[in-house]
Amino acid sequence: MTDIAFPVARLQDGTLRQLQQLEQRLREETGEEIVLVAYERKTVDEEETKR
């Protein structure tokens, strides 16, 4: 059986900076404390999870 997992994405420095800039822009626009989280969609075979 195959499952879907969503581990935290490992972002390159430039991509992380872009995400942080977007967070800041959204905070300024909404007045709310916005936090964005990046996950990676990963297919995991059930046999892998047993190891």
Backbone dihedral region of 24: left (phi > 0), alpha (psi from -120 to 50 degrees) or beta? alpha
pLDDT at 44: 84
pLDDT at 1: 65
Token pair 């989280």 is at which residue?
A: 37
Cα(3)–Cα(40) distance, rounded to whole angstroms?
Answer: 14
Read off the pLDDT of residues 32-44 as tens digits, 9 standing for 90 and up: 999 999 999 999 8
Domain encompassing residue 32: 2-49
User: Total domain count for the chain?
Assistant: 1
Per-residue confidence band for 45, with pLDDT thresholds at 50, 70 and 90: confident
pLDDT at 39: 97
**Nearest C-alpha neighbor of 36 from the set 47, 48, 24:** 24
Beta carbons of 5 and 42 less than 8 angstroms apart = yes
Q: What is the largest CA-CA distance in the chain?
A: 46
Prediction pTM value: 0.70
- Which DSSP category does 1 fall into? -
